A and B are shown apart, each in its own frame.
Chain A
Amino acid sequence: MEGKKGDFNVSLKTKPRYIIEDKCTGCTTCVQYCPVHYPDPFNQDISDNKAVHVYFSQAIPLVAYIDDSCLRLKDKKCDICSGVCKTGAIDFRQTTKKTDINVGAIILSSGITPFDPSAKEEYGYKTMQNVVTSMDYERLLSSTGPFEGEVLRTIDKKHPKKIAWIQCVGSRRVTEGDNSYCSGVCCTYTQKQVILTKHHYEDVQCTIFHNDIRSFGKDFERYFQRAEQLPGVEFIRSYASIEKEIPETRNVIVRYATADDGVKREEFDMVVLSIGLNPPAAYKEISEKFGIELNSHGFSKSDSSNPIKTNRPGIFVSGAFLGPTDVPESVFTASGASAQTGELLDYRRDKLAKERVYPIERDVSAEEPKIGVFVCHCGANISSVVNVPSTVDYARTLPNVVYATEQIFSCATNSAREITDLAIEKGFNRVVIAACSPRTLEPLFRDTLREAGLNQYYLDMANIREHCSWVHAKQKDEATQKAHDIVRMSVARAGELEPLLEFDLPVNKAALVVGGGIGGMTCALSIAKQGHEVHLVEKAKDLGGMARRLHTTLEKLDVQTYLDELIHKVYQNPLIHISHEATIKEVSGYLGNFTTTIETEGRIKTIKHGVSVLAIGAEEYKPSEYLYGESDKVFTHLELGEEIARGNKAIINAESLVMIQCVGCRNEDRNYCSRVCCGHAVKNALKLKEKNPDMRIYIIFRDMRTYGFREDAYREASEKGVQFIRYTPEDKPLVEKAKEGGKDVIRVIVPDLILGQRLELTADVLSLAAAVIPSTSTNEIASHFKVTLSPDEFFKEAHVKLKPVEFATDGVFLCGTAHYPKHIPETINQAYGAAGRVLTLLSKDTVVASGSVARVNDYDCVACGACISACTYDAIEFRDTPKGKKAFVNPILCKGDGLCNTKCPTNAIMLKHFTNAALLKQIDAAVTSKDILEQMDAVLEEA
């Protein structure tokens, strides 16, 4: 790679697949005939695959490839696959292909490599058969895994009855070959594996040996509780080591220690090593080729004021190459990298990209319904319970069904193409897909109809997974019967479906950003740098938000200098219009066309905008416990940081300082972790040790949650003499005022869990890790913008992983601590992420509105207003018509939720795509009149 931002020349080498991609249909006939078995890397080498195979059943592209184990490639011996391939897709003449491309920017999303425990003998991996990694275990759990979703021991194909998980394998260790940082995801993925294991097999005993439980993410605390409360699940806080394998049973002995019982040895049928995340295997190569710097751990070296940026202009980083991250962060940093690329390359937007073109829609309204039915196995998710072939046979007997077949994964690329091709070939005009919930995949299947030249509303999904196989796993016959019923109902409805038109709405190209903290300003600036007007609304007199009270970060960012520069840039940008001391009065409109009325510095202002970003931040909990507000020696961590920055002598020269963690959260009132406090405590402790090395500092904690690279700071604090004392919520520290040597002090009494005694600490200063709580204006803002809240009253994103910065309400986005507590670099990344998503809308001239909306029949409307009060989107209003006042549904605002038509006393409102005709047909199909008569007879007989 060479060049500079805006003009990089990259030379790519493409390894040969030995398959002509355009010709391969992914049918896997070649795989069946290939004589070479070799360990399947996708299944972690637990099961075998063939030398020619498709990487996994839902691979994209769904094209086979041939690897080095092929006999033909080795010594030109075998040619079976070429013989059986009907499309002539096998091509052994392929060689490494070199392509030169020129691009304006580069995003490195190189991900992670799972830690390899086989490098260290002590983990017993590869030497003991029943020691597996968490990645192996993922495959064991998966229905597309080596044993089709059965958790079996490879050696004897037995179900393990007793499974142990060992946490922090390869993480949080300074020994050679391990990583010093915390991988951040292992605690929660282990809880997931425990929950799924118990779901698979109720009687399995699960034991988890762990350090701290690091449930620092949104909804993680509840998830941990869910795992912990399952019967037969035990979390043991202890270092655990693998002692030996019992030769006869191949069971594994784990050695651990508890405070009550001392050292113990226990036998397990299987041990799962919860391995951490390493940087990408080729990190040195990436660094050299792209000329970017790495940190000491081999991840991208980040500037905490903008982690996505690298030292080389035009090259950005997203995902886990930034450091160990979970899926949502990988997703929003990707959108963030997209935003920063957009800032750089805005001048060439829309010059190269091409619109997707669909075939012209066929008018089938005059035709009789001709329905094609596709029944999905969903790997084994459906077919392990429901008899799929019998459901297909049954579908063939239903009225209007002209074709029915089964598919392993209807959502796989080749299956979707099969649906399109068959629809054209057999001339269907309706399609029923019996698979999963329409929630995730309906758009994909609608697309297959459009590809076939059919109106996309001619699709119906019969949910035989969530509504059937998943909930009736133990009643296979009844589940199959129910699948028949669901398919029959779906076919009945499909016959009544009508084509609907979607329409394009113009997009106002301006954005509204609510909240002028770091999140709001970063987002506003990025949108403005991509050429769009931004209205930034701040309730306070000045910009800055919570960051005004922060002075440093663990990454040593000078927050105030950074903040001043950011504010300066915001004021300098001619496209950003700032309103101070502003409150939102009214919000109306919809995606692409919002109108927001605000009051700012005593004046009313109306803003028209296409999208909204809510970055209203969070607040600090004011403790009612531990003498807060009753003694001038008690502070919150935030206040302590401010006092240190101010150079308060009473604090800096204190002899002894105690910090208490988890104040106001991780309790019944607030069942979540505030995420930032452990890092905050360590940061303050290090700062104090730097200024006064003799100060005695005690941090009284429940779990230290210094995830990621913050673990290094935790270790540093410990090395510098900061004492960490653990407590449990059942036995909280006691705090009282006292006098010692004539001076006022705070006495903190805390149980010592290791020695079983009570420790008495004398503190000159007590600092409390006060919870981060939702902003007091959250509810009001949420009702203005019609967005929803999570159980903890932070903003609720549309989808935890797939849509982490948008709301379910179209055109409204979120970022920063209003979503959940987070550190400054995380807020910055998320703010760029929101900007990236905003630009996917603002860069377009139009957006598409759904065709499935309500419509009022003026003749029947009696203008009672019941529909207007039922609508939560303000989509209905009265309009004067020649027939008098009538309700009118604004099709753009309507979300098609159907609340109005259930309230209408005269049936004047109908919801398109969910018409009475179609629903009644579906209900009629649910129970036949014969069944009803039989039931009535039975009742009469009893009487």
Chain B
Amino acid sequence: MGNDILPKEIIQQFSDSPVSINMGDKNFGDVMVVGGGVSGIQASLDLATAGFKVYLVEKGPSIGGHMAQLDKTFPTNDCSM
């Protein structure tokens, strides 16, 4: 995991490079989340709140996944919607 982070110098170079100028492009995002169920929605929300641009990709006509089909949820019987 340690080497997953770029060293400081590289970060600097990267953000000053032409790539950062292109960041305003329409189709340039930070993260793509595949699947709009409860997990995909939560990941997207957390990422967006923490300052990232997210593409949430869902194959169906609505987000919500299987959880949206559930009547209530255990063990509190809260409404799943």
Cβ of B67 to closest chain A Cβ, rounded Å: 6
Decide: A196 and B71 in contact? CB cutoff 8 A. yes
Given contact pairs A6-B6, A99-B27, A102-B25, enumerate 11 new A-B contacts (beta carbons under 8 Å). Answer: A106-B34, A109-B33, A110-B34, A139-B71, A330-B42, A334-B39, A340-B4, A352-B23, A800-B75, A836-B50, A837-B46
Contact of A108 with B by CB under 8 A: yes
Decide: A319 and B70 in contact? CB cutoff 8 A. no
Cβ of B39 to closest chain A Cβ, rounded Å: 3
Contact of A8 with B by CB under 8 A: yes
Alpha-carbon gap, A55 to B20, bound state (A)? 39
Alpha-carbon gap, A802 to B78, bound state (A)? 11
Chain A residues within an 8 Å CB radius of B77: 192, 195-196
* Chain B residue with the shortest CB-CB distance to A289: B34
Cβ of A167 to closest chain B Cβ, rounded Å: 15
Hey, what's the 0/1 contact readout for B68-79 against A, CB within 8 Å counting as 1? Answer: 111111111110
Decide: A8 and B78 in contact? CB cutoff 8 A. no
Contact of A4 with B by CB under 8 A: no
Contact of A943 with B by CB under 8 A: no
Cβ of B49 to closest chain A Cβ, rounded Å: 4
Decide: B52 and A101 in contact? CB cutoff 8 A. no
Decide: A60 and B40 in contact? CB cutoff 8 A. no
Contact of A350 with B by CB under 8 A: yes
* Chain B residue with the shortest CB-CB distance to A322: B39
Q: List 12 A-B contacts (CB under 8 A).
A: A56-B64, A103-B55, A114-B66, A139-B71, A188-B75, A217-B75, A330-B42, A342-B47, A345-B31, A347-B6, A801-B73, A839-B50
Chain A residues within an 8 Å CB radius of B47: 338, 341-342
Checking B50, B51, B64 against A60 with a beta-carbon cut-off of 8 angstroms, the contacting residue is B64
Asked, given contacts A138-B70, A800-B75, whether A103 binds B38 with beta carbons under 8 Å apart, the answer is no
* Chain A residue with the shortest CB-CB distance to B10: A347
Alpha-carbon gap, A319 to B76, bound state (A)? 20
Chain A residues within an 8 Å CB radius of B39: 109, 111, 318-320, 330-331, 333-334
Decide: A105 and B38 in contact? CB cutoff 8 A. no
Chain A residues within an 8 Å CB radius of B76: 219, 800-801
Decide: B72 and A196 in contact? CB cutoff 8 A. yes
Contact of B61 with A by CB under 8 A: yes
| A interface, over-half SS | mixed
Decide: A55 and B61 in contact? CB cutoff 8 A. yes
Interface residues of A in 834-862 (CB under 8 A from B): 836-837, 839-840, 843
**Residues of A that sit less than 8 Å from B by CB:** 5-6, 8, 10, 12, 17, 42, 44, 55-56, 58-61, 63, 65, 99-112, 114, 135, 138-139, 141-143, 145, 188-189, 191-192, 195-196, 217-220, 222-223, 280, 286, 306, 309, 313, 318-321, 326-327, 330-331, 333-335, 337-338, 340-353, 411, 525, 529, 569, 572, 800-801, 836-837, 839-840, 843
Decide: B34 and A108 in contact? CB cutoff 8 A. yes
Chain B residues within an 8 Å CB radius of A58: 64, 68, 81
Q: Tell me which of B47, B73, B78 has the highest count of chain A C-beta atoms within 10 A of its own C-beta.
A: B47
Chain B residues within an 8 Å CB radius of A836: 46, 50
* Chain A residue with the shortest CB-CB distance to B27: A101
Decide: B31 and A341 in contact? CB cutoff 8 A. yes
Decide: B66 and A111 in contact? CB cutoff 8 A. yes
* Chain B residue with the shortest CB-CB distance to A525: B1
Decide: A843 and B51 in contact? CB cutoff 8 A. yes
Chain A residues within an 8 Å CB radius of B24: 352
What bracket does the count of chain B residues touching chain A fall in?
35 or more
Interface residues of B in 7-59 (CB under 8 A from A): 11, 14-15, 20, 23-25, 27-43, 46-53, 55, 57
Asked, given contacts A223-B75, A318-B43, whether A346 binds B32 with beta carbons under 8 Å apart, the answer is no
* Chain B residue with the shortest CB-CB distance to A44: B69
**Residues of B that sit less than 8 Å from A by CB:** 1-2, 4-6, 11, 14-15, 20, 23-25, 27-43, 46-53, 55, 57, 60-78, 81
Decide: B49 and A840 in contact? CB cutoff 8 A. yes
Decide: B4 and A313 in contact? CB cutoff 8 A. yes
* Chain B residue with the shortest CB-CB distance to A191: B74
Chain A residues within an 8 Å CB radius of B61: 17, 55, 59, 63, 65
Asked, given contacts A105-B31, A106-B31, A138-B70, whether A337 binds B51 with beta carbons under 8 Å apart, the answer is no
Decide: A109 and B75 in contact? CB cutoff 8 A. no
Decide: A351 and B74 in contact? CB cutoff 8 A. no
Decide: B30 and A529 in contact? CB cutoff 8 A. no
Alpha-carbon gap, A309 to B66, bound state (A)? 24
Decide: A319 and B55 in contact? CB cutoff 8 A. no
Chain A residues within an 8 Å CB radius of B65: 111
Decide: B40 and A318 in contact? CB cutoff 8 A. yes
Asked, given contacts A338-B43, A342-B50, whether A107 binds B34 with beta carbons under 8 Å apart, the answer is yes
Chain A residues within an 8 Å CB radius of B71: 138-139, 141-143, 145, 196
Alpha-carbon gap, A470 to B28, bound state (A)? 48
* Chain A residue with the shortest CB-CB distance to B69: A138
Chain A residues within an 8 Å CB radius of B28: 101-102, 352
Alpha-carbon gap, A8 to B50, bound state (A)? 20
Decide: B32 and A101 in contact? CB cutoff 8 A. yes
Alpha-carbon gap, A754 to B56, bound state (A)? 53
Decide: B55 and A101 in contact? CB cutoff 8 A. yes
Checking B4, B27, B66, B67 against A344 with a beta-carbon cut-off of 8 angstroms, the contacting residue is B4
Chain B residues within an 8 Å CB radius of A99: 27
Cβ of B63 to closest chain A Cβ, rounded Å: 5
Chain A residues within an 8 Å CB radius of B11: 347
Decide: A345 and B52 in contact? CB cutoff 8 A. yes
* Chain B residue with the shortest CB-CB distance to A436: B79
Chain B residues within an 8 Å CB radius of A222: 75
Chain B residues within an 8 Å CB radius of A352: 23-24, 28-30, 52-53
* Chain B residue with the shortest CB-CB distance to A314: B4
* Chain B residue with the shortest CB-CB distance to A222: B75
Chain A residues within an 8 Å CB radius of B53: 352-353
Chain A residues within an 8 Å CB radius of B60: 55
